[in-house]
Amino acid sequence: MTSTGQDSTTNRQRRSRHNPHSPSHNSSVISKRGVKKGAVPRSSPSLAEVKKKGRMKKLSQAAEQDLIMGLQELDLNLEPKALSGTGLVFEEQLNEFHCLWDDSFPECPERLHAIKEQLTQEGLLDRCISFQARSAKKEELMLVHSLEYIDLMETTQYMNEAELRILANTYDSVYLHPNSYTCACLASGSVLRLVDAVLGAKVRNGMAVIRPPGHHAQHNLMDGYCMFNHVAVAARYAQQKHDIQRVLIVDWDVHHGQGTQFTFDQDPSVLYFSIHRYEHGQFWPHLKASNWSATGFGRGQGYNINVPWNQVGMRDADYIAAFLRILLPVALEFQPQLVLVAAGYDALQGDPKGKMAATPAGFAQLTHMLMGLAGGKLILSLEGGYNYRSLAEGVSASLHTLLGDPCPMLESPGAPCLSARTSISCTLVALKPFWEVLMQSAETLEEDCVEKDKEEGPWEPPVPQIMAWPMLCARTGLIYDRRMMNHYNLWDNHHPEMPQRISRIMCHLEGLGLTERCLTLPARPATDAELLTCHRWGWNHLTAHQCSSHASSAEYIARLRATENMKTRELHREGANFDSIYICPSTFTCAQLATGAVCRLVEAVLAGEVLNGTAVVRPPGHHAEWDAACGFCFFNSVAVAARHAQAISGHALRILIVDWDIHHGNGTQHIFEDDPSVLYMSLHRYDHGTFFPMGNEGASSQIGQAPGVGFTVNVAWNGPRMGDPDYLAAWHRLVLPIAYEFNPELVLVSAGFDAAQGDPLGGCQVSPEGYAHLTHLLMGLANGRIILILEGGYNLTSISESMAACTRTLLGDPPPLLGPLRPPLSGALASISETVHVHRRYWRSLRIRKVEDKEEEPSNSGLVTKKEPQPANPGSAKGMARPEENILEAGMGKATSASPVEESIPGQAKSEIATVELAKDKSLEAPDSQTPEEKLLGEAAGGQDLDDSKLMGFGDTDEATFYAVTPLPWCPHLTAVCPIPAAGLDVTQPCQDCGSLQENWVCLSCYQVCCGRYINAHMIQHHEDLGHPLVLSFVDLSTWCYHCQAYVHHQALLDVKNLAHQNKFGEDMPRPH
């Protein structure tokens, strides 16, 4: 079994084994009726009869109690007092300074005047909890700045205009006023006031509308309109006063916050993420340290993240892509306890400095994403923004979101542009050595095998969007009817689809006080006309064949209605005509009521009666075909609801259906497979076609039919144990990128909870917290119009806790903290990658290209693997003042004399390769392109076991080129290494396929010996056939991982390497000192 340890150290030291490959299956010859739903795969013979009859035994009382106790430890059974309220600091005194010698200076009091007018007009000031600003104390400022610098700034209060101008001219892009010092102290203190309020549980989140800005200010240096670094001081203050161990700082100002970066670039307790205009160093502050290659120094390596935009006109889709692909995955691994945002709004369209094209709605999306981190402890601190209208609208949008209002629809989200995708891929390459969640994203760095992207045309500013915020009577609708419990199995009291499923959920929601917070809606039965709509294959008209199908559908409805009057024996016989179905006299009424309840909830959401909703209904629906019951399902509630939404809206409403039930929703897929107005995305166990509903319908290769090609997306898990990290990886890499590009107007979730931990059918490990995070991320779509419809889930405790977690999230509570996450399973990443490859040709958001940025050298020479963050010492200010020159040439010991690391090896997710030209009188520089010799490193070179790297020479020239190969210190496939056979190893053994004695490798899973790629490539063929990832070279005893495309050096490999060394040299392998 794969370990699910509770910290990254444990993850790195996993020793358990599993068979990494599954037997091949021919899904085309598997009968769909071969295995009933509810059967346990690979069950023991004693369960064969249970499987045959479609039964499921109850969990033992002890097991049930263990599960309940485990879930109680998640603090989900005890309703905490939900934090509410958004803190706001808005101090008029901050307008009492301006530039004395330039009335046109962009950083001016009019900025705050425009914001106040906008917030007053929208009634936001009254909705927030106001806090009085206070001045930061000197000792607080000294957490980041030097006393000498603070004292110098204090003296400016007594300078005349000439003296102020002389001093200001010694810095870059600043002005000074006699009130500058007082206002800067007040601005920093305002953020500290919110830190106390949020961490003191007085409010959930907050925003400081302040000036002057702060993120450019350094240890003893004014810079870029900034005197004191407010967010840096706030981070250190939170660590010192509130014992916070991990702080995330997000900087979305269009200028790079070099002051913040320099403060924390050696500190693993603060993760700094900046997304900014760079233009290959041509945009202010003109630093190489602003490029993607600057990842931090020493213990802080990997904790500095830069996403540099190299052209103007970047849009919402570009920013969202960077958040999804980089920030959110890394942040979830980092697990911040507080999130601070350097919230500049100069990337909004119309800003004279930024010249970008982001919209206020886009910044609402970014704010919403961040609200899912740190238990919702989020503070925004105003930085730049110099177009008064866009600045005011941007602040307003973020504040609306902090208050819990839904994110506005994006006007034209599209997909990230080519330049953005290149920047993102560069940053991913730089960060891969430091973050386990990024180690397995190689599929995103390959060249597209589909048509080449067309270069974007000249950027044209979009028409400004008119923001609209809905006024709602209630936030979340809840629909349930006890009559749906009347559907039950007459012959098996322990059938998994039992009436208690919905009653237990409702009891739990009531016990937590959640039903009182929802608007309870009455259920109604679906009409025949509504039921028939889900079987129409066309929208505007029906062909003769479709009319025939429509008639058949009517016959199917009549057939189910007839069961109301059948006798028991007839009901049993009729149920046997379908796959995994039982029928009782009340079945038709309950199925009709379940579908009608969902339609009623759709009506409430589209009418603005509620924002979102939860439908606690049964029987489930997503397996129901247009003319057949299947898998406990009779009417396809989600499909009918989608068609009903389109009918009452009067047009082909764009609808996203997300199906996270552990079983593939074959019925839903078939109903919409040729309809581009409905995007169906399913994440399910597939197990190479052997998991219910069997066959190949749930394969990733199923993409829909014209004109719906590309609108069916299947993530097919090929095994059990999928958990929170795997689903979140799918969300970040696949589900959300496609969803934002599709831009739905309504989101429906087939919310089966049989992937939850403890479910007897799913065998997976998704936690209630995990489901809450998935729900939260989907809530950013469709103006927040999202409905969760219960499908499967057969452990009563698991489904109750999971639905409660989702309902809390719909009500606006921040998602609960996730425990330490293991890296995504290799099998999960393979499934995600497979779907990404299939759908790249249809969705541009999935096309992350090869790294092509070659202008800059990385700022870090030696690669250091990520360590656990250590508590910072707030008493020591680390950020030293630095000139606006190449940061590599700065002092403080941060520029190294070692050879620079090449920025990327395009198309490879392997260990970084440093290139050193040993030529007389030549400077050290990274090569501009990959040479033919570099390509040989894929399997020809070997890692030296005595050290972390090895220098290798190629060519016969006088000036030899050496390559330092740094192997990965860990990879997620080490669990595939099996015990050494009793017979040991024979390094002289020939290739089992061709008999070659040259360049042979041994598979560390099955210990078969095959030749390498430059002989007959039989080891590559062996890997492709069996999926075994790790192999050992008999030539140099290096270890290669095919999945990671990298050399690996880890303690788990030392035994087999030592044995091979003894066999090859007659002595033990030397150990490093």
- 3-class DSSP string for 383-397: CCCCCHHHHHHHHHH
pLDDT one-digit tens code per residue, 763-778: 999 999 999 999 999 9
Q: Would the pLDDT of 902 be above 70?
A: no
Task: Find residue 381's DSSP bridge partners.
Answer: 208, 342
Q: How far is CA 665 from CA 19, 125, 700, 706, in A?
A: 29, 46, 13, 20
**pLDDT value, residue 850:** 52
Query: How far is the C-alpha of 218 from the C-alpha of 287, rounded, in Å?
Result: 14
pLDDT band for position 1070 (50/70/90)? Answer: confident
Query: Which residues does 921 contact at the CB level (< 8 Å), separation at least 6?
Result: none
Q: Report the SS3 class of residue 134.
A: coil
| Segment 135-163 mean pLDDT | 98
Residue 21 designated active-site: no
Catalytically annotated residue among 368, 535, 623, 1023: 623
Task: Find residue 338's DSSP bridge partners.
Answer: 247
Query: How far is the C-alpha of 277 from the C-alpha of 357, rounded, in Å?
Result: 12
Share of the chain above pLDDT 90, in %: 70
675-684, 754-763, 1031-1040: lowest mean pLDDT where?
Answer: 1031-1040
Beta strands 913-917; 961-965: pairing state: antiparallel
CA 163, chain centre distance (Å) = 51
Query: How far is the C-alpha of 898 from the C-alpha of 914, rounded, in Å?
Result: 10
Q: Would the pLDDT of 24 be above 90?
A: no
Beta strands 786-790; 612-615: pairing state: parallel
Q: At residue 1056, what are phi and psi to the nearest 5 degrees?
A: -70, -35
pLDDT band for position 84 (50/70/90)? Answer: confident
**pLDDT value, residue 1071:** 66
Query: How far is the C-alpha of 856 from the C-alpha of 887, rounded, in Å?
Result: 12
Q: How far is CA 582 from CA 35, 290, 451, 560, in A?
A: 15, 63, 49, 12
pLDDT band for position 1052 (50/70/90)? Answer: confident
b/e per residue 768-789 (b: at least 16 CB within 10 A): bbbbbbbbbbbbbbbbbbbbbb
pLDDT band for position 968 (50/70/90)? Answer: confident
pLDDT one-digit tens code per residue, 490-549: 999 999 999 999 999 999 999 999 999 999 999 999 999 999 998 554 333 333 334 444
Query: Which residues does 1024 contact at the CB level (< 8 Å), separation at least 6?
Result: none
> Which of 634, 661, 898, 896 is closest to 761 using CA atoms?
661
Beta strands 612-615; 476-479: pairing state: parallel
Q: Would the pLDDT of 136 be above 90?
A: yes
Average confidence score pLDDT of the chain: 83
Give all strands (DSSP E) within 483-638, no chain letters. 519-521, 612-615
pLDDT one-digit tens code per residue, 100-110: 999 999 999 99
Query: How far is the C-alpha of 840 from the C-alpha of 1036, rounded, in Å?
Result: 39
Residue with tokens 């919402």: 316
Q: Side chain identity at 94, as an amino acid letter? A: L
Q: Would the pLDDT of 63 be above 50?
A: no
Helix (H) or strand (E) holding 641: helix 637-649
Q: How far is CA 623 from CA 219, 480, 639, in A?
A: 62, 21, 10
Q: What is the DSSP letter of 406?
A: P
What's the whole-model pTM score?
Answer: 0.76
b/e per residue 348-380 (b: at least 16 CB within 10 A): bbbbebbbbbbbbbbbbbbbbbbbbbbbbbbbb
- The answer to whether the CB of 804 falls within 8 A of the CB of 811 is no
- The answer to whether the CB of 147 falls within 8 A of the CB of 138 is yes
Q: Report the SS3 class of residue 379.
A: strand
Catalytically annotated residue among 145, 177, 215, 216: 216
Better-scored residue on pLDDT, 159 or 41: 159
pLDDT one-digit tens code per residue, 971-1002: 778 888 999 999 899 999 999 999 998 889 99
Task: Find residue 625's DSSP bridge partners.
Answer: 628
Task: Find residue 628's DSSP bridge partners.
Answer: 625
- The answer to whether the CB of 235 falls within 8 A of the CB of 264 is yes
- The answer to whether the CB of 760 falls within 8 A of the CB of 40 is yes
**pLDDT value, residue 463:** 58
Q: Would the pLDDT of 267 be above 50?
A: yes
Q: What is the DSSP letter of 456?
A: P
CA 96, chain centre distance (Å) = 43
pLDDT one-digit tens code per residue, 408-445: 999 877 899 999 999 999 999 999 999 999 976 544 44
b/e per residue 253-282 (b: at least 16 CB within 10 A): bbbbbbbbbbbbbbbbbbbbbbbbbbeebe
N-terminal to C-terminal alpha carbon distance within the chain: 34
**pLDDT value, residue 451:** 47
Helix (H) or strand (E) holding 264: helix 258-264
- The answer to whether the CB of 191 falls within 8 A of the CB of 208 is yes
Q: How far is CA 991 from CA 852, 937, 963, 1022, 1058, in A?
A: 39, 21, 29, 11, 21
- The answer to whether the CB of 363 falls within 8 A of the CB of 371 is no
- The answer to whether the CB of 864 falls within 8 A of the CB of 905 is no
Residue 216 designated active-site: yes
CA atoms within 13 A on the CB side of 296: 29
| Segment 13-19 mean pLDDT | 31
- The answer to whether the CB of 985 falls within 8 A of the CB of 1042 is no
| Segment 17-28 mean pLDDT | 34
Residue 104, phi-psi category: left (phi > 0), alpha (psi -120 to 50), beta (remainder): alpha
Strands of the 655-659 sheet, one edge to the other: 519-521, 476-479, 612-615, 786-790, 746-751, 655-659, 678-685, 712-717
Query: How far is the C-alpha of 865 from the C-alpha of 871, rounded, in Å?
Result: 18
Helix (H) or strand (E) holding 382: strand 378-382
